């Protein structure tokens, strides 16, 4: 955090002022990670989001003025000033959101005012993620030359996104799936233990591979940390790798030197019947969407299939087959649907993997890198009588959206032109 931004957030934390969009984005003139072109875009981003949602929305999302709770903690992750993942990565996420809003505003998309009003009224993470998915899909469709409407009625059913290609209209219903509390607690514990090992790695100039534990009791956690600290110290002094074994998990190896690309540090597999929960939620949406023949269900996965579950560890092609099998009966029960898409984004240390598309039967699976440190995996399963068509194009195009969006919004820059070359994050 730069000094000018730090002073502002100290005042916010002290209750002397409320957070605003300039607080979230940061002062462009202080953003050393941005070029002059990047600072110009940041200024437009700030004014654009301020006009769309207002500073009062930011304050309310972050619990001001009473600060008894934070209704939308997700907002901090999107802030280049506050994000633990660095300013560049957070700026790209915020840029994707702003560009999606600007695309809709530039075409005066029907339903945008209703979406904005709901977003301002309903201060919940679920509402924000749902609206961001609507805007993202709308902007992707617009970037491909199609017309878009939000909350547009198709018969008796208001579709989340209606895409008009000229030859046809395609309705999309979005369902958002969140992590269960037990999974959330375990995942947080795994993340905390990984971060502890990485801090030891920085301190002792070592790196780790293998499996870290999940949630431990207080005494187990303390003993584990002490064991890891001793192993790191021993490896640093001997310059030899050491293996720590445990009857309850796979070995953990500490090796001298920096972490090479491809090193794998994982948590234990977390077992739960996420599939049944997902199908139950999708079925509710399928019943609603059946009023619009050919409608698609778009499933935004925000943690239901956690990184430490068996599904998430499958290769991309096997994920396609697994999800296709999971929803096969549902699609047979609703043959008038176009199909179902499961879409998940996750953080990945650069370099990002190459884009990849796998086809297995009636399932397509897409992996696309999202600058600078995220990948999106989308699995599309069509009904037996349908072809993916437009949804295939949306899933394929996502990785290059920002480079298309910037010139379309009046900026000559490509995404890389916004960042100083010596600032990786």
CB 141 within 8 A of CB 394: yes
Phi, psi of 281 (to 5 degrees): -70, -40
Distance CA 399, CA 394 (A): 10
Give the tens place of pLDDT for each residue, 90-101: 999 999 999 999
Higher pLDDT, 356 or 247: 356
Query: Mean per-residue pLDDT for 188-202?
Result: 87
Mean pLDDT of all residues in the chain?
87
pLDDT digits (tens, 9 = 90+) for 214-232: 878 888 888 899 999 999 9
Residues 6 or more apart in contact with residue 39 via CB below 8 angstroms: 28, 29, 31
Q: How far apart are CA 8 and CA 18, in angstroms?
A: 10
The predicted pLDDT at position 63 comes to 87
| Per-residue pLDDT reduced to its tens digit, 266-297 | 776 544 556 777 888 899 889 888 878 889 99
Residue 323 DSSP class: H
User: pLDDT band for position 184 (50/70/90)?
Assistant: low
Between CA 163 and CA 125 the distance in angstroms is 25
Terminal alpha carbon distance of the chain: 13
Which tokens hold the place of 14?
A: 């002290």
Strand 265-266 to 339-347 pairing: unpaired
Q: Could you tell me how far CA 219 lies from the centroid of its own chain? A: 34
How large is the average pLDDT for residues 112-124? 94
Name residue, tokens 């995996």: 377
The pLDDT-based confidence of 169 (bands split at 50, 70, 90) is confident
Domain locations along the chain? 3-108, 136-181+271-408, 183-266
Q: Which residue has the tokens 């269900």?
A: 297
Question: What is the chain's length?
Answer: 425
Per-residue confidence (pLDDT) for residue 177, from 0 to 100? 84
Q: Please classify residue 137 by burial: count the beta carbons closer than 10 Å to its beta carbon, then call 0-12 exposed, 13-18 middle and 19+ buried.
A: buried
Cβ neighbors of 188 (< 8 A, separation 6 or more) are none
Please, which residues have CB within 8 angstroms of residue 208's CB and are 6 or more apart in sequence? Answer: 197, 198, 200, 201, 252, 253, 254, 255, 259, 263, 265
Phi/psi for 320 (5° steps) reads -60, -45
pLDDT at res. 179: 66
Determine the average pLDDT of the residues in 186-199: 84
Q: What are the CA-CA distances from residue 247 to residues 197, 235, 251 (Å)?
A: 20, 22, 9
> Under a CB-based contact definition with an 8 Å cutoff, are residues 144 and 393 in contact?
yes
- Bridge partners, 307 (sequence order): none
What confidence tier does 86 reach under pLDDT thresholds 50, 70, 90? confident
- The residue assigned the tokens 């059946």 is 290
Cβ-contact 27, 44 below 8 angstroms = no
Question: For the chain, what is the radius of gyration of the CA atoms?
Answer: 23
Sheet (strand 206-211) strand order:
242-246, 249-256, 206-211, 265-266
pTM: 0.78
């Amino acid at each position: 955090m730069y000094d000018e931004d730090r002073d502002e957030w100290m005042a916010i934390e002290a209750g002397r002022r409320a957070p605003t969009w300039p607080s979230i984005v940061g002062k462009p003139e202080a953003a050393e990670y941005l070029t002059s072109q990047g600072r110009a875009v940041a200024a437009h981003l700030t004014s654009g989001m301020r006009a769309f949602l207002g500073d009062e929305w930011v304050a309310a999302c972050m619990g001001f003025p009473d600060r008894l709770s934070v209704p939308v903690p997700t907002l901090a992750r999107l802030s280049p000033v506050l994000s633990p993942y660095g300013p560049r990565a957070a700026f790209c996420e915020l840029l994707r959101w702003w560009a999606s809003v600007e695309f809709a505003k530039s075409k005066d998309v029907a339903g945008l005012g209703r979406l904005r009003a709901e977003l301002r009224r309903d201060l919940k993470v679920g509402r924000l993620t749902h609206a961001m998915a609507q805007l993202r899909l709308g902007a992707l469709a617009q970037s491909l030359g199609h017309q878009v409407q939000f909350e547009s009625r198709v018969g008796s059913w208001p579709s989340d996104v209606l895409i008009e290609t000229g030859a046809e209209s395609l309705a999309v219903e979005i369902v958002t799936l969140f992590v269960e509390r037990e999974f959330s607690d375990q995942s947080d514990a795994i993340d905390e233990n990984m971060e502890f090992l990485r801090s030891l790695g920085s301190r002792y100039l070592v790196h780790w591979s293998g499996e870290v534990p999940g949630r431990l009791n207080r005494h187990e956690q303390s003993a584990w940390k002490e064991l890891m600290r001793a192993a790191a110290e021993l490896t640093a002094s001997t310059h030899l790798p050491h293996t720590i074994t445990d009857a309850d998990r796979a070995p953990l190896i500490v090796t001298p030197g920096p972490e090479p690309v491809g090193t794998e540090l994982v948590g234990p597999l977390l077992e739960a019947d996420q599939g049944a929960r997902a199908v139950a939620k999708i079925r509710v949406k399928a019943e609603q969407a059946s009023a619009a023949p050919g409608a698609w269900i778009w499933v935004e996965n925000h943690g239901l299939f956690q990184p430490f579950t068996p599904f998430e560890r499958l290769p991309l092609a096997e994920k396609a087959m697994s999800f296709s099998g999971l929803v096969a009966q549902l699609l047979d029960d609703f043959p008038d649907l176009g199909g179902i898409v499961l879409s998940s984004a996750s953080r990945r240390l650069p370099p990002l993997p190459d884009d990849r598309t796998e086809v297995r039967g009636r399932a397509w699976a897409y992996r696309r890198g999202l600058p600078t440190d995220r990948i999106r995996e989308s699995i599309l399963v069509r009904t037996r009588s349908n072809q993916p068509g437009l949804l295939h194009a949306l899933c394929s195009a996502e990785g290059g959206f920002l480079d298309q969006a910037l010139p379309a919004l009046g900026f000559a820059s490509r995404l890389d032109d916004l960042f100083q070359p010596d600032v990786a994050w």
